[in-house]
Structure 1
Amino acid sequence: MPKTKNNVDLDEIHVIAPNFKQRLSGVTSTIIQLVPVQNRLGQKVAVLGPGLPSDLPHLRFRDLWKLWRPPEGHTHRVWHARRNIEMLPGIILRDLLRMPLKLVFTSASQRKHSGWTKFLIRQMDAVIATSAKTSAYLEVPNTVVMHGIDCETFRPAEDKAEAKRVCGLAPNLRYIGCFGRVRHQKGTDLFVDAMIAALPRHPGWAAIVAGRATPQHQAFEDELKAKVAAAGLADRILFVGEHTDIANWYRTLDLFIAPQRWEGFGLTPLEAMATGVPVVATDVGAFSELVIQGETGTVIPAGDLPGMIAAASALLEDPDVIDQQGRSGRRHVTQRFALEGEATSLGGLYRRVAI
């Protein structure tokens, strides 16, 4: 039996986080993680739309008529959109129906916007960029608020051998991970090629590809598995599929590689570093703003397979550096990228816009 949604009264809500896309995405994941923390900080946020856990505070569409009345102590509510399909309804509610709303939009895009998107963005009362790179693509004033992560969920293993046993891995091997959707854009093939080159020289290591290949990318994954088998490494480059307990898999790792060819923001380096795992990451998304070169990992050019092999091999040959960078990564993320920091920054922007 499906769980009953935690429906709340709009009179109790100051911020609305619409989610008008059913399919799970990075935006949806951001909302799922942020809203509970925002509410713990007293920001009174509720979600609106499908595809979100039932235990989040949900608004019902039939209650939106109450938006004509602002919350007590405020002149406006905040409508925090993260996609075009959420900006447009906010504009209609504010400008056509004259509801007391302030519109906030978060952009993670690192490409030139279409004319339609530029028009929508110009109607916003405040715009947030998730990185300095994203900010540079915006043609309106904006505030950079970088994503954070839950540093309690993503934490180092107390007993790494036990963490490996929990995931069905060999406790005597050290593991390199690549987590995320299996597709060309995500650079899964670069990771596999790098591991085929590096692992024969490092017999104490193995690699894990964790993530789902959607039907249109299944042939891509099948080709990678065939390449691994042909290299005689099927027992050391493991395709483990998609897992909801991904934090447990991070705790099995000693090195993480983020090989993407393109990314909007990209949380996986933060998740790895929070777990005490150093990172080799391509210079896409916000990765160069997340990883401290030579201190918490290494940033290489996108698509640079020789560079990936060299960076990974240098770490595989120096366990002391791996341990040092892992500790530095954990400290770096807890100090600068805890989810509470992102929520606090958003709360400050909401107050400036809506009070």
Structure 2
Amino acid sequence: MNITHFVENLNRGGLERMVIDLVKAQHRQGDKVQVVCLFERGSLAGELDRLSIPVHACGKKTGLDLRALACARQFIAGHYTEVLHTHNAVAHYQAVLASAGMGIRQVVNTRHGMGGANRKGGRREWLFRRALKATDAVVAVCEAARRDAVRRGVAPARKTCVVPNGIVVEGFDVASDAMHERLTNLLKIPDATRIIGTVGRLNWAKDQASLIRAFRLVRHKRPNTALVLIGDGELRETLRACAYDEGVAGCVHFLGDRDDVRELLQGLDLFVLPSITEGYSMALLEACATGLPIVATDVGGNAEIVSDGATGRIVPACDPPALAEAMLGLLHESQRASRLGRAARDWVEAHGSLDAMAARYGRLYFGDWEAVT
């Protein structure tokens, strides 16, 4: 099968990680796959280059860019595309416009988040809805996102389904004392320090500011703790200032974008996802695969991954005291935290694998809706 994935770019992020892993799985099973990037190729494109999987960039400029559309059309047509799989709203309507009249057998769009930034009246959503006439399926990554998209009129119920994200679980080792020691050495902190960590872009949606404020409360009762933020973004300096204002700047560590996230996760004692909005978080799946106790906010698909009291803790968003209380509880009850971490690993092995996700998309590409839903 000739498959074209159409994205904005392949810069580091959960969406991009999912696309690359899915492309690799499809390549292994014999499909002819390419990725077309609306803007630049992105920092992760090299992973596909090493497998000789084509990654093309259209170099789109601001506004209507006919040259970029023509470029995209050439890439889609030259691949003899049978399945056009787009990711999120902008990539979707641009790809549908670029491929108009080609008669592609199956056009599938995956919406990777909750779409909170683009309400029903927004221009992007209006263009997305117009493109649905040439779309066979709109995939949400969690049931909460599917219901929200239907409720807001973003997509009709008859065209929506859910395919949860998946990861290569076998690639993750569980947290260990040896990796904890490695991380404390990296941070230059005492070996006995309990390390709380999060992974994600430093932006408004991930709400690391609430985590920093909650961490101040944790430090008041557990002075031997440190907070690690893995990822980068436009709020880096704002969050540094927040840590300073809260009086915890000396024990909040900004590690930036990293290529060794899996190893860093293995050194944590506790994983926290404080997001205001989420789809189906790849970071949460990775924390589950590492066997970490987890605290996550009750937004998007988080509660579809973390079962409160069974595989972690779920707390309200934008509530630093509640976040701090949950973190302190797991830091205090180490045996309970270990049980939750083991249960999270068992859950992701059964429900969050890349193979399960790839198989669902494969059935959807052939129009087998019943097998997907």
TM-score class, shorter: 0.7 to 0.9
Aligned to 1:267: 282
1:242 CA displacement: 2.5
Aligned to 1:73: none
Q: Is the 8 A contact 1:43 1:347 kept in 2?
A: no
Match for residue 141 of structure 2 among 105, 130, 133: 130
Aligned to 1:154: 172
Q: Does 2:50 correspond to 1:55?
A: yes
- Distance in 2 separating the partners of 1:225 and 1:59: 39
Match for residue 106 of structure 1 among 105, 110, 114: 110
Q: Does 2:204 correspond to 1:184?
A: yes
Aligned to 1:164: 183
Aligned to 1:38: 26
Q: Is the 8 A contact 1:167 1:248 kept in 2?
A: no
- Distance in 1 separating the partners of 2:224 and 2:243: 21
- Distance in 2 separating the partners of 1:201 and 1:20: 44
Q: Identify if the C-alpha distance between structure 1 residues 102 and 311 changes in structure 2 by more than 3 Å, giving closer, same or farther.
A: same
Q: Identify if the C-alpha distance between structure 1 residues 348 and 166 changes in structure 2 by more than 3 Å, giving closer, same or farther.
A: farther
Structure 1: give runs of 5+ residues left out of the alignment. 1-12, 71-76
Give identity over the alignment, percent. Answer: 25
Aligned to 2:324: 309
Q: Identify if the C-alpha distance between structure 1 residues 110 and 310 changes in structure 2 by more than 3 Å, giving closer, same or farther.
A: same
Q: Is the 8 A contact 2:202 2:208 kept in 1?
A: yes
SS of match in other structure, 1:253: coil
Q: Is the 8 A contact 1:122 1:140 kept in 2?
A: no
Aligned to 2:59: none
Q: Is the 8 A contact 1:90 1:103 kept in 2?
A: no
Q: Is the 8 A contact 1:179 1:211 kept in 2?
A: yes
Aligned to 1:329: 344
- Distance in 1 separating the partners of 2:88 and 2:111: 8
| Superposed counterparts of 1:234-313, under 5 Å | 234-313=249-328
Q: Identify if the C-alpha distance between structure 1 residues 207 and 93 changes in structure 2 by more than 3 Å, giving closer, same or farther.
A: closer
Aligned to 1:143: 161
- Distance in 2 separating the partners of 1:240 and 1:21: 23
1:21 CA displacement: 3.2
**Range with bigger deviation, 147-156 or 340-349:** 147-156
1:339 CA displacement: 1.2
1:153 CA displacement: 2.9
- Distance in 2 separating the partners of 1:257 and 1:120: 37
- Distance in 2 separating the partners of 1:335 and 1:38: 20
Deviations 1:108-165 (CA, angstroms, capped at 9, x unpaired): 3424443222222342112211110111113232221000112133321453445435
Task: Report how many aligned residue pairs link the two structures.
Answer: 329
Aligned to 1:79: 84
- Distance in 1 separating the partners of 2:104 and 2:201: 40
- Distance in 1 separating the partners of 2:90 and 2:368: 22
What amino acid is the match of 1:197?
L
1:309 CA displacement: 1.2
Q: Identify if the C-alpha distance between structure 1 residues 129 and 185 changes in structure 2 by more than 3 Å, giving closer, same or farther.
A: closer
TM-score w.r.t. the length of structure 1 is 0.83
- Distance in 2 separating the partners of 1:314 and 1:250: 20
SS of match in other structure, 1:256: strand
1:171 CA displacement: 2.9
Q: Identify if the C-alpha distance between structure 1 residues 332 and 237 changes in structure 2 by more than 3 Å, giving closer, same or farther.
A: same
Runs of 4+ in 1 over 6 A off after TM superposition: none
Match for residue 6 of structure 2 among 12, 18, 21: 18
What amino acid is the match of 1:180?
G
Q: Does 2:207 correspond to 1:197?
A: no
Q: Is the 8 A contact 2:7 2:35 kept in 1?
A: yes
SS of match in other structure, 2:292: coil
- Distance in 1 separating the partners of 2:237 and 2:7: 31
**Range with bigger deviation, 257-266 or 217-226:** 217-226
